[in-house]
Structure 1
Amino acid sequence: MGEWTSLETPTGRIRAWRADPHTPPRGALVVVQEIFGVNAHIRELCKTFADHGYVAMAPSFFDHFEHDVQLRYDPDGVARGLELVERLGFERALEDVHATATVLAEHGKVGVVGYCWGGTVAFLANTRLSMPAVSYYGARTVPFLAERIEAPMMFHFGERDPSITAHDIELHREHQEHAEVHVYPAGHGFNCDQRADFERHSAALALEHTLAFFRRTLHPAY
């Protein structure tokens, strides 16, 4: 379930993967990719959220540079993905998130959920765009923790994640005392079944927390 659609952004037209629920929407979600593009994992996440009643769209940020970038979870994929996100930058990514949210606004309140690099984008969409946000293992968030959250916020971390130390997690709690922080017995990328660190139980529990969060923040009277 899902299809590619066209999305107009301030710096040009890109594609976005969109999945719609079979029932009237409870709201909508911008789904923010890892550094690997809008690949099968991200498209499957859109389907999952659509199955739970949300219109879900994942903007294909890398279309600004190259069509249909879907990278492997290997050293070459990591290197290429890091190159592309550095070229994109957070400001341009947030412009694309805002453009996606504008399209989705007709379906109700819009939240954002992001993974890895996208987890940091989701956090910044909260502080700078005032969007309710869920961040999964956003390893680049620490330099921005002085920014004030402007909407409900949830973080998910793996306690064995080498890119996000226990000290980093405590910094999130210290600087964002009103956010929800969940830590799981898992490594980085535990939500992705294409990664070596995939941890099924942690992924299921994190999804449960995420869906409860969006039920509260996007349609509290549902």
Structure 2
Amino acid sequence: MSEWVKLTASDGVELSAYVSRPAGEPKGALVVVQEIFGVNDHIRAVTDEWAAEGYLCIAPAIFDRIEKDVFLNYDEAGWAKAGPLYQKLDIAKSLLDVEAAVAWLRGQADVKVGIVGYCYGGSMAWVTSCRSKIDAAVGYYGGLIPTLVQETPRNPIILHFGGADTHISAEAIAKIQLAHPEVPVFLYPGAGHAFNRKPDPSSYVADAADLAKRRSVLFFEEHLAAK
């Protein structure tokens, strides 16, 4: 079951969020953080997929601070709009939106709360782990993480990167591994950036996406669902 709800961040900003509920009682809860294309069809589908794994899920519309109802496709028009919107994002303010989503989840169920993010959301998974209080995190191809390696996660986290990512270099990924050898960093040879983006044939790599998902499911089972 899915619905849209309203969140209010700690600075008073109101934003929308897409909620997807599991069939039964949730075994944990997840904040799903968007790419730079908004809470579009793909992010809503990913949120539904995580709900199908047994988690109460919420995807905050972090572009709402800039423009309401941003749902972009992976076409020329979508890219043209996504870039300028991304330039207006502020990590500290995005964190307030994520924290509002975490608070909403905690108000719904007495379960552990994690975060999973993709692209910009992958970076926010790292930021949330380092600056806020959650129980586990998974970051997919977060391009800002190499610039934030001086910060240390407070909870278990794993990271996924494409081995052929033209946006995040091998040197940048190595920088993360050197600074944080305790963090599992999974590389997917031949996969580029956004390899989990199923509706985008120019990015999607099925084998890499499936393996990353299996690893993430097992990770959340251990750190969120385990009693």
What TM-score do you get using the length of structure 2 for normalisation?
Answer: 0.93
User: Equivalences for 1:76-87 in 2 at 5 Å?
Assistant: 76-87=77-88
Deviations 1:57-87 (A, max 9, x none): 0001112232211112234423422322332
The residue aligned with 1:128 is 131
Q: In the alignment, does 2:101 pair up with 1:96?
A: no
User: What CA distance in whole angstroms lies between the structure 2 residues aligned with 1:128 and 1:134?
Assistant: 15
Q: Verify the 8 A CA contact 2:66 2:88 in the aligned structure 1.
A: no
The residue aligned with 1:34 is 35
User: What CA distance in whole angstroms lies between the structure 2 residues aligned with 1:217 and 1:117?
Assistant: 23
User: Equivalences for 1:11-90 in 2 at 5 Å?
Assistant: 11-90=12-91
User: What CA distance in whole angstroms lies between the structure 1 residues aligned with 2:75 and 2:151?
Assistant: 33
Q: Give the secondary-structure state (helix, strand or coil) at the position aligned to 1:88.
A: coil
Q: Give the secondary-structure state (helix, strand or coil) at the position aligned to 2:88.
A: helix
Moved over 6 A (4+): none
User: What CA distance in whole angstroms lies between the structure 1 residues aligned with 2:138 and 2:80?
Assistant: 26
User: What CA distance in whole angstroms lies between the structure 2 residues aligned with 1:215 and 1:159?
Assistant: 26
User: What CA distance in whole angstroms lies between the structure 2 residues aligned with 1:63 and 1:127?
Assistant: 24
The residue aligned with 2:193 is 188
How far off is 1:170 after superposition?
Answer: 1.2
How far off is 1:180 after superposition?
Answer: 1.1
Q: Verify the 8 A CA contact 1:137 1:156 in the aligned structure 2.
A: yes
Q: In the alignment, does 2:4 pair up with 1:4?
A: yes
In structure 2, list runs of 5 or more residues that go unmatched: none
The residue aligned with 2:144 is 140
Taking a change above 3 Å as real, the CA distance of residues 64 and 109 of structure 1, as seen in their structure-2 partners, is same
User: Equivalences for 1:165-176 in 2 at 5 Å?
Assistant: 165-176=169-180
Aligned AA (1:202): A
Q: Verify the 8 A CA contact 2:159 2:186 in the aligned structure 1.
A: yes
How far off is 1:125 after superposition?
Answer: 0.3
Match of 2:210 among 200, 204, 208: 204
State the superposition RMSD in angstroms: 1.3
How far off is 1:15 after superposition?
Answer: 0.6
User: What CA distance in whole angstroms lies between the structure 1 residues aligned with 2:128 and 2:80?
Assistant: 25
Q: Give the secondary-structure state (helix, strand or coil) at the position aligned to 1:35.
A: coil
Match of 2:167 among 163, 168, 180: 163
Q: How many residues align?
A: 221
What TM-score do you get using the length of structure 1 for normalisation?
Answer: 0.95
User: What CA distance in whole angstroms lies between the structure 1 residues aligned with 2:12 and 2:206?
Assistant: 38
Q: Give the secondary-structure state (helix, strand or coil) at the position aligned to 2:204.
A: coil
Q: Verify the 8 A CA contact 1:130 1:149 in the aligned structure 2.
A: no
Q: Give the secondary-structure state (helix, strand or coil) at the position aligned to 1:143.
A: helix
Q: Give the secondary-structure state (helix, strand or coil) at the position aligned to 2:58.
A: strand
